[in-house]
Amino acid sequence: MGAFDLIVVGGGLVGAALAWGAQIAGANVVLLDEGDVAFRAARGNFGLVWLQGKGVGIPPYMHWSLRAGRMWPDFAERLSTAVSFDIGWRQPGGLQFCFSEAEIAKRRDIIARTQADGGDIDISILDRADLRALLPDIGDEVVGASFSSLDGHVSPLYLLRALQLAFQAAGGHYRPGFRVEHINAETGAFRASSQIGSVLGRRIVLAAGLGAAKLAPQMGLSMPVKPERGQIVVTERVKSFLPYATNCVRQSVEGTVLLGSSHEERGFDEGTDVATTAALCRTAARVFPALADATVVRSWGSLRVMTPDGLPIYEESARYPGAFAVTCHSGVTLASVHALEIGPALVQGRLPSHLSSFTSERFDVHQS
Amino acid sequence: MFTRVECSSALPAGDNVLIFEGSQLPFRPGDSVAAALLEAGVSPLRKNPVDESPRAPFCMMGVCFECLVEIDGKQNQQSCLTRAHPGMVVRRQRGARTLA
């Protein structure tokens, strides 16, 4: 087999979005996926396309996230058409609940800072009466919420499946069970090797999540990512009662209620613990007291991919032009721009200039 | 799909009767509700709340949640994990359960 136009290392939400986007932009792409044995960050994603408050104080990240949010309806439409099943995308707006006036004040501050940085998003404060009008079952402890109509939600696992399937339907080459061990730069091409073979490509992008930390240096790139564990609890299916995305409770299209999520430093431990599960349940029951009666059917832990400052990395190797690195912890929210903007950019061989502040150079210690 | 490992044919007479959709339904001591309903030929037990497809017990060990019924007024009960008791009132699960 000859050389592909682009090798995508990593078949998770980030890699699959890039691969689909590059393939439909006209490239011949191969997607190398370790498989479901990998630390799939998609499993731990709460499924929010969450814009309010994202990137406050870091304008490039805020604008990039808002761009992703604006692009989501078109992205979801195109993806759903390609696979003909419901990925669970809904954009009813999102609520971040507040339990005190102090928390309301913090949300007001976020609104002010968003406006000061030119954020193109309307965020409003709802008082208790407003909130009760929207959600009659809301608990007495919730004093208010911030609301943005731009926020939405989706099933992360259906999204991942849709991206992988749409990629293949567009003629892309999907290689499961392909855990990349080595990457070599050859004359005018890159070779990615695993125990089950190797592939050759004119360009390569590392989107291997936590696995990228070891692979990146082989391409003269730096991806200092570490795992952050998040636990999620899910209940039995119940009749629709929550037609909004929220920061801590999400009802899926199928009726299950997700309660999440935690932020823990536990290395590569994907486990769960009762104290965390209980805390997630307690918060959910403060927001919706009726949930106390719902049966929990599962809880699980999963690992997010975190850079030192929590922001994405978009970078081309200076030593090996044509080798790129992409990572982030918002694989759902940013899926739209990864597919429709970064994918085509990789085909052109050049990252958008407005992402120049997202290289890993920001982690270097500069000595004067 | 499921068959009993005991060879005895007749259900024992006595108090071991539950109420399913208003009718008396005998069971063997120790039966789960799902086992009693299956033996009586009840199927489906419910409809899927998303697409309304008919559903019946599948795993019989508490994993698949296909066997949900309403028991003594409580919705979404796993009938394979619930032991049958005399006088128990069992109904088909109708749609998704409602929160109180």
**Domains of chain A, CATH where assigned:** 4-47+57-76+156-225+309-363 (3.50.50.60), 94-149 (no CATH), 226-306 (3.30.9.10)
Report the interhelical angle of A156-169 vs A59-83 (nearest 10°).
60
CB A138 within 8 A of CB A287: yes
Q: Is residue B64 part of a domain?
A: yes
Residues of B with Cβ-Cβ distance to A290 under 8 angstroms = 99-100
Cis peptide before A261 (omega within 30 of 0): yes
| Min distance B70 CA to chain A CA atoms (Å) | 14
Provide the pLDDT for residue B9.
63
Q: Is residue B9 part of a domain?
A: no
Distance separating alpha carbons of residues A44 and A87, to the nearest angstrom = 17
Residue A350 backbone dihedrals phi, psi, to 5 degrees: -150, 130
Its domain, for residue B87, covers: 17-92
Q: Is residue B10 part of a domain?
A: no
Residue B23's CB: how many other CB atoms inside 10 A?
Answer: 10
CA B42, B46, B47, B53 torsion-angle sign: negative
Return the closest-CA partner of residue A95 out of A68, A60, A135, A65. Answer: A135
Return the closest-CA partner of residue A68 out of A82, A49, A86. Answer: A49
Distance separating alpha carbons of residues A220 and A76, to the nearest angstrom = 35
Q: Which amino acid is at A290?
A: A
Measured CA distances, A262 to A152, A249, A281 (Å): 20, 12, 11
- Rounded average pLDDT per 10-residue block, chain A, 368 residues: 92 98 98 92 94 96 97 97 94 98 98 96 97 96 98 97 98 97 93 97 97 94 95 96 97 96 94 96 97 95 95 96 96 98 97 95 75
Measured CA distances, B98 to A5, A296, B21, B64 (Å): 52, 15, 19, 20
Q: Is residue B44 part of a domain?
A: yes
**Residue reference for tokens 């309301």:** A104
How would you write the pLDDT of chain B (100 residues) with one tens digit per residue?
677 777 666 677 688 999 999 999 999 999 999 999 999 999 999 999 888 899 999 999 999 999 999 999 999 999 999 999 999 999 999 889 998 7
Provide the pLDDT for residue A367.
56
Among B50, B76, B98, beta carbon nearest to A295: B76
Cross-chain Cβ contact A241/B99 below 8 Å: yes
Return the closest-CA partner of residue A108 out of A133, A144, A68, A69. Answer: A144
Cross-chain Cβ contact A237/B99 below 8 Å: no
CB A35 within 8 A of CB A177: yes
Cross-chain Cβ contact B99/A238 below 8 Å: yes
CB A83 within 8 A of CB A162: yes
The CATH number for B74's domain is 3.10.20.740
Q: Is residue B26 part of a domain?
A: yes
What pTM was estimated for this model as a whole?
Answer: 0.93
Cross-chain Cβ contact A254/B95 below 8 Å: no
Distance separating alpha carbons of residues A355 and A357, to the nearest angstrom = 5
Provide the pLDDT for residue B50.
87
Total count of domains within chain B? 1
Residues of A with Cβ-Cβ distance to B97 under 8 angstroms = 236-239
User: Beta strand pairing status for B68-71 and A29-33?
Assistant: unpaired
Cross-chain Cβ contact B99/A297 below 8 Å: no
Among A255, A290, A294, beta carbon nearest to B49: A255
Distance separating alpha carbons of residues A300 and A213, to the nearest angstrom = 24
Return the closest-CA partner of residue A246 out of A96, A53, A66. Answer: A96
| Min distance B15 CA to chain A CA atoms (Å) | 31
Q: Is residue B47 part of a domain?
A: yes
Find the chain B residues whose C-beta atoms sit closer than 8 A to any C-beta of A.
49-50, 65, 76, 95-100
Buried b (16+ CB within 10 A) or exposed e, B34-58: bbbbbbeebeebbebbeeeeebbbe
Q: Is residue B8 part of a domain?
A: no
Give the three-state DSSP class for A142. Answer: coil
| Min distance B100 CA to chain A CA atoms (Å) | 6
Q: Is residue B1 part of a domain?
A: no
